[in-house]
């Protein structure tokens, strides 16, 4: 590792940081969370704490800028130089700057949160297939109301999960119109506008009126950014692709690599590139703001570049899903600040110190009720603010007033409340407590007299080998082995040791078994494994299903629904879940009768 000349470091422990402005590439809460997690990388191995403040007095000022952005070290457009930071000290020292000509993501493509629809605000999944075609941006296809939508899974045709993409026709942000959508055309200073405009503003933000006449009503909002089709770099950064466009006399209705030797996708931002020569790069995987920020914050704490290619402080960008710190980084930062004084951190009993890594997700209320072809109801958003004609007193780039802090605080984040999750990925009784898994996190629930919920915890903190998304899990009461299933893979944890991932065919399941949707331990080292309408007898000792062909579920468990997404055992009863409901079967009396039907959250978790 290397430090800067003179071992520059901070001489206090509680470091403060200020997010001075935002990139439009990511939702604000995702940016806040990425920076908070990037700081947490370093606080986890040092005595340092990082507290977010609001103002220039912060030790570390975080800024997005392009080209020359005020410090004499200009950025260089898309790619190449991504960000830089200054070593610890006063003034600009310690600050971190990010090149906003880059596409900032979480490393795996644009993050487009959705609204309404039936996916509870989940982000778009690009590419997704719809009606046999592949889409890598939001689309109005399939709709008659011209609203932009996307699938939140790879395959809309089979999963039917969708949401509406940011669009000024759906809502506006900030301004003074309570998030009402734009009205087109509207008049402003006597002129008619049929699209968002930056006229009247010097900060380049696109806005619109939410009534037919801004001159008369003075009601306005800012147009949401469409990151899925906004170009980066080129000579029209921040503008939208225009499809179709003409290039060398040929018409293109999607991004293309034609004309380039580096294979990068681009599009024109007017209908005729041959005439107007306006263009930019189409969204690609982008750069993980979390990883680049963690690197820059290393500089801001006093670390220089290292020659260890696997280390976080190596100068080149490398996307990884692993924890980014290398032993070389830890040695370096502990050379400057020492190790973390407390014993190993315990799992939080109430809320985790770190924020969720994904935008808040509010799950659906039952089978999709809104089809792409139906109109959503609009919702209010955004605080009232100033008119676009005067300098904004609270500009859209102003930071939100509250943010994550180093000390665990009672979380206000609705997505952390187990009662807000309607559809769980998997539910399993482990160690006499119900474990509910969702999107990389899980809660522990103890029922009985005193209802007690703990979490959410990060799955990877407890079972590091597991993926983000689980299909099912079960604990074998005899051996205490815990089986986790996701897709065609299985993991078997015995205490902290893990076997897997292994393919399901290692258990004797045929290739066409796409996933294990549930399991019922039978005791004596036996269990039932479920997949869709079938189940197999499974021997935990040999870890094989018996060779007979599967049995249909409704043969053994009459009355339960067939398209279950989870089956688990809890307090000696079998639970068959479909959507947010369960059918409880008493397996004791061999008749396997359904003796109760209810809501998972209200009747099992006793949510209010």
Partner 1 sequence: GPRRHQPTYVVFPGELRTSLTDTQLAEEYLYRYGYIKVAEFRNDNQSLSQALRTLQKRLSLPETGELDSTTLEAMRAPRCGVPDVGG
Judged by the rule CB under 8 A, the positions of this chain that interact with partner 1 are 4-5, 73, 75-77, 79-85, 87, 99, 102, 233-235, 248, 258-262, 266, 277, 279, 287, 292, 295-296, 299, 304-305, 307-309, 314-317
To the nearest whole angstrom, how small is the minimum distance from the Cβ of residue 601 to partner 1?
44
- Return all residues near 470 (Cβ < 8 A) that are at least 6 apart: 425, 426, 437, 459, 484, 485, 486
- What gap in Å lies between CA 299 and CA 279, rounded to an integer? 35
Q: How far apart are the first and last CA of the chain?
A: 53
- Which residue's CB is nearer to partner 1, number 103 or number 519? 103
* Residues 135 and 372: beta-carbon distance below 8 Å: no
- What gap in Å lies between CA 323 and CA 161, rounded to an integer? 31
CA atoms within 13 A on the CB side of 412: 4
- Which residue's CB is nearer to partner 1, number 287 or number 483? 287
- Which residue's CB is nearer to partner 1, number 71 or number 572? 71
- What gap in Å lies between CA 63 and CA 56, rounded to an integer? 11
- Which residue's CB is nearer to partner 1, number 226 or number 278? 278
To the nearest whole angstrom, how small is the minimum distance from the Cβ of residue 80 to partner 1?
6
To the nearest whole angstrom, how small is the minimum distance from the Cβ of residue 14 to partner 1?
25
- Which residue's CB is nearer to partner 1, number 159 or number 276? 276
Strands 60-65 and 96-99: parallel
To the nearest whole angstrom, how small is the minimum distance from the Cβ of residue 261 to partner 1?
5
- What gap in Å lies between CA 295 and CA 38, rounded to an integer? 8
- What gap in Å lies between CA 320 and CA 322, rounded to an integer? 5
To the nearest whole angstrom, how small is the minimum distance from the Cβ of residue 266 to partner 1?
7
DSSP secondary structure letter of residue 2: E
3-class DSSP state of 144 = coil
To the nearest whole angstrom, how small is the minimum distance from the Cβ of residue 295 to partner 1?
6
Sign of the dihedral defined by the CA atoms of residues 173, 174, 178, 184, in that order: negative
How is residue 385 written in tokens? 């603010």
Orientation angle between helical segments 28-43 and 289-301, nearest 10 degrees: 40
- Return all residues near 210 (Cβ < 8 A) that are at least 6 apart: 172, 175, 177, 180, 181, 182, 183, 219, 220, 221
* Residues 241 and 150: beta-carbon distance below 8 Å: no
Sign of the dihedral defined by the CA atoms of residues 541, 544, 549, 553, in that order: positive
To the nearest whole angstrom, how small is the minimum distance from the Cβ of residue 235 to partner 1?
4
- Which residue's CB is nearer to partner 1, number 84 or number 218? 84
What is the phi-psi region of residue 525: left when phi exceeds 0, alpha when psi lies from -120 to 50, beta otherwise? Answer: left
- Which residue's CB is nearer to partner 1, number 292 or number 540? 292
- Which residue's CB is nearer to partner 1, number 277 or number 375? 277
Choose the catalytic residue: 180, 296, 429, 475: 296
- Which residue's CB is nearer to partner 1, number 71 or number 596? 71
- Return all residues near 234 (Cβ < 8 A) that are at least 6 apart: 78, 266, 269, 278, 279, 280, 281
- Which residue's CB is nearer to partner 1, number 52 or number 299? 299
Alpha helices in 44-71 (DSSP H): none
DSSP secondary structure letter of residue 210: S
Give the residues across from 529 on adjacent strands: 519, 536
Query: How open is the CA angle 210-213-219, to the nearest 5 degrees?
Result: 40
To the nearest whole angstrom, how small is the minimum distance from the Cβ of residue 248 to partner 1?
6
To the nearest whole angstrom, how small is the minimum distance from the Cβ of residue 5 to partner 1?
5
To the nearest whole angstrom, how small is the minimum distance from the Cβ of residue 77 to partner 1?
8
- What gap in Å lies between CA 520 and CA 568, rounded to an integer? 6
What is the phi-psi region of residue 160: left when phi exceeds 0, alpha when psi lies from -120 to 50, beta otherwise? Answer: left
Could you give the C-alpha distances from 599 to 23, 28, 596, in angstroms and in order?
41, 33, 10
Q: Is 296 a catalytic residue?
A: yes
How is residue 539 written in tokens? 């021997």
Please give the positions annotated as active site.
Answer: 296
């Amino acid at each position: 590792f290397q430090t800067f000349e003179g071992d520059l470091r901070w001489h206090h422990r509680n470091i403060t940081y200020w997010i001075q402005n935002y990139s439009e590439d990511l939702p604000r809460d995702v940016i806040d969370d990425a920076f908070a997690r990037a700081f947490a990388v370093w606080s986890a191995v040092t005595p340092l704490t990082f507290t977010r403040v609001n103002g220039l007095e912060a030790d570390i000022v975080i800024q997005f800028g392009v080209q020359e952005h005020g410090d004499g070290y200009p950025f260089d457009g898309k790619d190449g130089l991504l960000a830089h930071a200054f070593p610890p000290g006063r003034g600009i020292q310690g600050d971190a700057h990010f090149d906003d000509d880059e596409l900032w993501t979480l490393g795996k493509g644009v993050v487009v949160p959705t609204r309404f629809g039936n996916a509870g605000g989940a982000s778009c999944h690009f590419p997704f297939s719809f009606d046999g075609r592949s889409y890598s941006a939001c689309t109005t296809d399939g709709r008659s109301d011209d609203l932009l939508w996307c699938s939140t899974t790879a395959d809309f045709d089979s999963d039917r999960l969708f949401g509406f993409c940011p669009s000024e026709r759906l809502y506006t942000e900030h301004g003074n119109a309570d998030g009402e959508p734009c009205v087109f055309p509207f008049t402003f200073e006597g002129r008619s506008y049929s699209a968002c405009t930056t006229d009247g503003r010097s900060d380049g933000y696109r806005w619109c009126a939410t009534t037919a006449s801004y001159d008369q009503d003075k009601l306005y909002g800012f147009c949401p950014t469409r990151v899925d089709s906004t170009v980066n770099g080129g000579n029209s950064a921040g503008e939208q692709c225009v499809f179709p466009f003409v290039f060398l006399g040929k018409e293109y209705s999607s991004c293309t690599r034609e004309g380039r030797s580096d294979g990068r996708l681009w599009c024109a931002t007017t209908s005729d590139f041959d005439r107007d020569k306006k263009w930019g790069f189409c969204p690609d995987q982008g750069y993980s703001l979390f990883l680049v920020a963690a690197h820059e914050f290393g500089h801001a704490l006093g670390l220089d570049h290292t020659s260890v290619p696997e280390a976080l402080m190596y100068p080149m960008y490398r996307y990884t899903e692993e924890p980014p710190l290398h032993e070389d980084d830890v040695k370096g930062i502990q050379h400057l600040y020492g190790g973390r004084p407390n014993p190993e951190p315990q799992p939080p009993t109430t809320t985790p110190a770190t924020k969720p890594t994904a935008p808040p997700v509010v799950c659906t209320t039952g089978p999709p009720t809104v089809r792409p072809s139906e109109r959503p109801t609009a919702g209010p958003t955004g605080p009232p603010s100033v008119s676009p004609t005067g300098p904004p007193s609270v500009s859209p780039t102003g930071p939100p007033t509250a943010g994550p802090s180093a000390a665990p605080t009672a979380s206000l984040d609705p997505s952390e409340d187990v009662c807000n999750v309607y559809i769980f990925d998997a539910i399993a009784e482990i160690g006499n407590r119900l474990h509910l898994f969702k999107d990389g996190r899980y809660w522990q629930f103890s029922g009985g007299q005193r209802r007690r919920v703990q979490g959410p915890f990060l799955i990877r903190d407890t079972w590091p080998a597991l993926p983000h998304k689980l299909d099912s899990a079960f604990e074998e009461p005899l051996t205490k082995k815990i089986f986790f299933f996701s897709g065609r893979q299985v993991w078997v944890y015995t205490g902290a040791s893990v076997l897997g991932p292994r393919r399901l065919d290692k258990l004797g399941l045929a290739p066409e078994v796409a996933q294990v949707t549930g399991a019922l331990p039978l005791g004596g080292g036996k269990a039932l494994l479920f997949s869709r309408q079938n189940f197999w007898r499974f021997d935990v000792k040999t870890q094989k299903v018996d060779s007979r062909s599967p049995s249909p579920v409704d043969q053994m468990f009459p009355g339960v629904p067939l398209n279950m997404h989870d089956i688990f055992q809890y307090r000696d009863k079998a639970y068959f879940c479909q959507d947010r409901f369960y059918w409880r079967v008493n397996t004791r009396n061999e008749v396997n009768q359904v003796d109760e039907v209810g809501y998972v959250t209200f009747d099992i978790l006793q949510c209010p």
